[in-house]
Amino acid sequence: MGQYVVKRILFSLLVLLAISVIVFSAVRVIPGNVCHIVLQTPDVTKEQCTVIDKELGIDQPMVTQYFKYMGGVLTGDFGKSLITKRAVGAEMKDRIPLTIELTLLSTFFALVIAIPIGVVSAVRQDSLSDYGLRFLTIGWLSIPSFWLGTMLIVFPSKWWHYGPPVGYVNIWEDPLRNLEQLYLPAISLGLALSASLARVTRSSMLEVLRQDYIRTARAKGLGGAVVVVRHALRNAMIPVTTLFALQVGVLFGGTVVLESIFSLPGLGGLTLSAVRAKDYSQVQGLVLLFATVLVVLNLLVDLSYAWIDPRIRYS
């Protein structure tokens, strides 16, 4: 078990290292002159560019720049924004709580909807409820989250003269007001995830329910709910866990659009403004952050396999 954990952690670190190299190289081949971005004007002199290049360290070889940047990242220093002149880490720190909260709330909605639908659909295979739930999940999958979010703003305002509250209130200041601001974008993000999870839960449950140990449990007289929940569902959760971790990472990135639609001051708005302004230091830090979240989630999934399936623990 210990060897398995060490291997997965080392592999994750290698993936993060490769991503950092790709991101660092990619932002430096983006068209545009750093002098124009910093000074916000196309009329710059060669002397001004020389001074700015020296201040930012981009007059040095790329390998030297990379090692200096990664040394800073390891100490929490992602550099400074070219536009606001604030530390990139400080700007991300200010906005990440809202994005995490929105992601967690979306995940909660998705799990509350998906797992019961998948289990019921599998247990009542080929019944009318099964066909109805499968049709419903296919419909949810076909709805883009940004379109659903827009409709959740437009139709309530047109029919009931209701719109989501403007501005952001911290959850610790007013939990109910905070929930009122976030439940619509959370539903928009969570609905597509719930459809994917429900379909995978159904498929995995059907496979597990055909196993010999399930028939043995039923032959021993165990109740249907006990067999489904204690024996079938836990073993069916391995593929669901994999998809869940991947999709939560996608949710974290999907907040970029939804936060802009609902005017929420999270990482989404920061990412869009950085891209529009060609603030490559800000973009670089944000991409590394999103990539790290995805890699860490995948690592946690790999490690959770040993808890879900003891066969992995002893292999």
Q: Which one has a higher pLDDT value, 18 or 242?
A: 18
User: Greater confidence, 232 or 91?
Assistant: 91
Check pLDDT > 60 for residue 28.
yes
Instruction: Specify the pLDDT at position 234.
Output: 78
Greater model confidence, 4 or 111: 111
Q: What architecture is domain 100-265? A: Orthogonal Bundle (1.10)
pLDDT at 308 over 70: no
Q: Rounded CA gap, 192 and 102, in Å?
A: 15
pLDDT of the residue at 4: 72
pLDDT of 300 reads: 80
Q: Is the pLDDT of residue 314 over 60?
A: no
Dist CA 115 CA 73 (whole Å):
39
pLDDT(312) > 60: no
- Packing angle of the helix pair 128-141, 88-123 (nearest 10 deg): 160
pLDDT over 70 for what percent of the chain?
Answer: 88
pLDDT tens track for 262-293: 888 888 888 888 888 778 888 888 888 888 88
CB 23 within 8 A of CB 284: yes
Q: What does the pLDDT read at residue 103? A: 86
Residue 296 pLDDT more than 70? yes
pLDDT, mean of residues 92-99: 87
Percent of the chain with pLDDT over 90: 1
- Of the two residues 313 and 29, the one the predictor is more confident about is 29
The predicted-structure confidence for 177-217, as pLDDT tens digits, reads as follows 888 888 888 888 888 788 888 888 898 888 888 877 777 77
What is the predicted pLDDT for the residue at 82?
A: 78
Token pair 């068209």 in the structure block, residue: 31
Tell me what the pLDDT averaged over the chain comes to.
Answer: 80
* pLDDT confidence bin for 148, thresholds 50/70/90: confident
Per residue in 37-91, pLDDT (tens digit) is 666 666 667 776 777 777 777 777 888 888 888 888 888 888 888 778 888 888 8
Report the residue count for the chain.
315
Question: Is pLDDT above 70 for 1?
Answer: no
| pLDDT bucket at 311, cuts 50 / 70 / 90 | low
286 within 8 A of 237, measured Cβ to Cβ: no
Q: What pLDDT was estimated at residue 14? A: 92
**Which pLDDT does position 40 carry in this prediction?**
65
Spatial distance between the Cα atoms of 140 and 90, rounded to a whole number of angstroms: 37
**What is residue 117's predicted lDDT score, i.e. its pLDDT?**
92
pLDDT beyond 70 at 305: no
Q: How far apart are CA 301 and CA 238, in angstroms?
A: 9
Please determine, for residue 34, whether its predicted confidence score (pLDDT) is greater than 80: no
Q: What is the pTM of this model?
A: 0.78
Domain regions of the chain by residue span: 100-265
